[in-house]
Amino acid sequence: MNDETQQIDRKSLRLVTGEHPNWKELAKDCVCFANARGGQIQIGIENDSDLPPLSQRIDKQLPEKIRKRIAELTINVGTYAEIKTATNGGEYIELQIFPSLSTIASTTEGRYYIRISDHCTPLLPEDMTRLLTDKSAFIWETKVARKVRRKEIDPQKMNEFITDIHASNRVSGFIKEKSPDELLEHYLMTDGEFLTNLGILWVGKREDRAQLLYAPVIQFLKYDEHGKRINKTVWDDYSLNPKELIESVWTQIPDWKEGIEVSNGIFRQFIPNYEEEVIRELVVNALVHRPYTTRGDIFINLFPDRMEVHNPGLLPVGVTPQNILHKTTRRNDHLAKIFYDLKLMEREGTGYDSIYEILLTHGKHLPIISEGEDRVSVAIKSQILRNDVISLVNRATEQFSLRQKEIICLGLIAQNITLSAIEFSKTLNLHQPNAIRDWLGRLLDFDIIKAKGKTKGTEYFVNPTFLRNSKFISKTSLKKIEPHRLKELIIEDISMYPNSSLSEIHSRIGSEIAIRKIQALLYRMTSENILFCKGQRRWRRYSINKRV
């Protein structure tokens, strides 16, 4: 089992021993951790192992040698190395890298890197300003900005916090046995006699929370079909902590209860315009991942056809609207820990997976995530694309106990009728060779999904037998047209419209057919002398070869 994570890496002992130790590689990894949240490199444990070799012994001088070499090869990187003995008796070096809290770390060669998930990634020039902004945000939670003593907490909020901790099955009995003061220390809500920013945010009094830079404010704005604002609700009096804000957003907006009923077999199923889980998850994301050193309110804008959540600040370095489903970079570690322990959010990195699953289960569009100059927005559409997709996914989930990724894949394929490997990878931002197969899981084994073609030309579609049994009414489409039938269509089209370009042929015979499929067939028909062409690239035009 490989336990490499955002804050733990493993390296072979060969990296720092022998005739040619790779000190520059180790220095690069240390810079990565320093620019993130710090971390630990276990030297002497191979990537595919949990323990060092049984007989491995470490030279007592090696930890100090490592520390000195890293100091010589890096800037703004602090480390501490010591020899550890594993449970099997083998020795390894635990190299601790401290986070660079207020500066950006680099190698002495002027190269910048950052640790994202379990990978070391180069920092681009445009990322530097964003990283500096994030660094101040990283220490906001545990900073004592105002001298508010721990005895000045809000008693009611403290009692609710203790009650929630005791009721949570995610909190160990050891933590639950702590006294109120010890609980505050455990969750880093206090530093000595004073409340940290996190402590004020969660258990502080209203007047102290109001003076934080910048306590969250949420605005709900409703617009009609003409773009005119017709309703406004604002949470700006700072009387609520993050948990209470989430609950208030859900309970005080009557629009969340609206939806439609759809047929599901002999029953009727109510599908809300906006699912409670989706709304809560988006508000949680806005509160947990926003930089609290940036001014700006959280906006929830409701339009006749969609909801938009706007959060101040940009995405963390390394996270983009395209890869947000896979990348995990925390901005407020300790706040996220409280949210998780109180069951206000799922484990890190699964929030958008859950949103995808819920929306696709209800036959809806995927969320549209975009990043502006100073904020991130997420748009959720209320429209149900396909009613029959709902019953199809429900039936498959009940019959085969599908997992989250399998539900997402089935919903995507059912909505699109046929999904190519290229479209699949683009939609879910999958780049690894086996990533699609991992996401499909058991769908192919259960014979719910069929595949045809090879490599990038592979196409996925729902098994027609399963469709019939599910009473899924598939729209007539040319997306799955067989090559020999497509060939006849092309011949007929070009016979009527000689000297045609690829785009012209594509638009006439069926825009739902993948253009690359038509292009590949045109090339093959040209090589077989069925067609002849003139021109190059986008100016290439095809006609029937009448000499054959």
Mean model confidence pLDDT for the chain: 89
Q: Show the CA angle centred on residue 462, arms to residues 459 and 468, nearest 5°.
A: 145
Q: 46 falls in which pLDDT band (50, 70, 90)?
A: confident
Query: Which residue bears the tokens 């490599």?
Result: 455
Q: Could you give the CA distance from residue 3 to residue 113 in angstroms, rounded to a whole number?
A: 21
> Could you tell me which residues come within 8 angstroms of residue 321 by beta carbon, excluding any fewer than 6 positions away?
315, 369, 370, 371, 376
CB-facing half-sphere around the CA of 379: CA atoms within 13 A: 11
Query: Which residue bears the tokens 């001088």?
Result: 61
Q: Could you give the CA distance from residue 327 to residue 324 in angstroms, rounded to a whole number?
A: 5
Q: Could you give the CA distance from residue 11 to residue 400 in angstroms, rounded to a whole number?
A: 41
> Could you tell me which residues come within 8 angstroms of residue 124 by beta carbon, excluding any fewer than 6 positions away?
none
Tens-place pLDDT, residues 62-106: 999 999 999 999 999 999 999 999 999 999 999 999 998 878 999
Q: Could you give the CA distance from residue 415 to residue 385 in angstroms, rounded to a whole number?
A: 8
Q: 1 falls in which pLDDT band (50, 70, 90)?
A: very low
Give the helix ranges, DSSP H, for 401-543.
404-416, 421-428, 435-440, 464-469, 483-496, 502-509, 515-527
Length of the chain counted residue by residue: 548
Q: Percent of the chain scored above 70 by pLDDT?
A: 95
Q: Could you give the CA distance from residue 142 to residue 195 in angstroms, rounded to a whole number?
A: 9
Tens-place pLDDT, residues 325-357: 877 677 788 999 999 999 998 766 567 889 999
DSSP 22: -
**Beta strand pairing call for 375-381 and 91-98:** unpaired
Measuring CA to CA, which residue among 117, 113, 137, 139 is closest to residue 127?
Answer: 113
Q: 4 falls in which pLDDT band (50, 70, 90)?
A: low
Q: 217 falls in which pLDDT band (50, 70, 90)?
A: very high
Tens-place pLDDT, residues 226-272: 999 999 999 999 999 999 999 999 999 999 999 998 876 656 789 99
Q: Could you give all domains of the chain from N- to C-terminal order, each with its CATH number?
A: 8-123 (3.30.950.30), 387-469 (1.10.10.10), 483-544 (1.10.10)
Minimum mean pLDDT among 201-205, 260-264, 438-442, 492-496: which range?
260-264
Query: Which residue bears the tokens 């077989």?
Result: 528
Q: Could you give the CA distance from residue 401 to residue 403 in angstroms, rounded to a whole number?
A: 7
Q: What residue type is assigned to position 31 of the chain?
A: V
Instruction: For residue 311, give the 3-state DSSP assignment.
Output: strand
Q: Is the pTM of this model over 0.85?
A: no
DSSP 252: S
Measuring CA to CA, which residue among 76, 64, 80, 71 is closest to residue 34?
Answer: 76
> Could you tell me which residues come within 8 angstroms of residue 107 by beta carbon, excluding any fewer than 6 positions away?
24, 27, 28, 31, 73, 74, 75
What angle separates helix 276-289 from helix 333-341, to the nearest 10 degrees?
Answer: 150
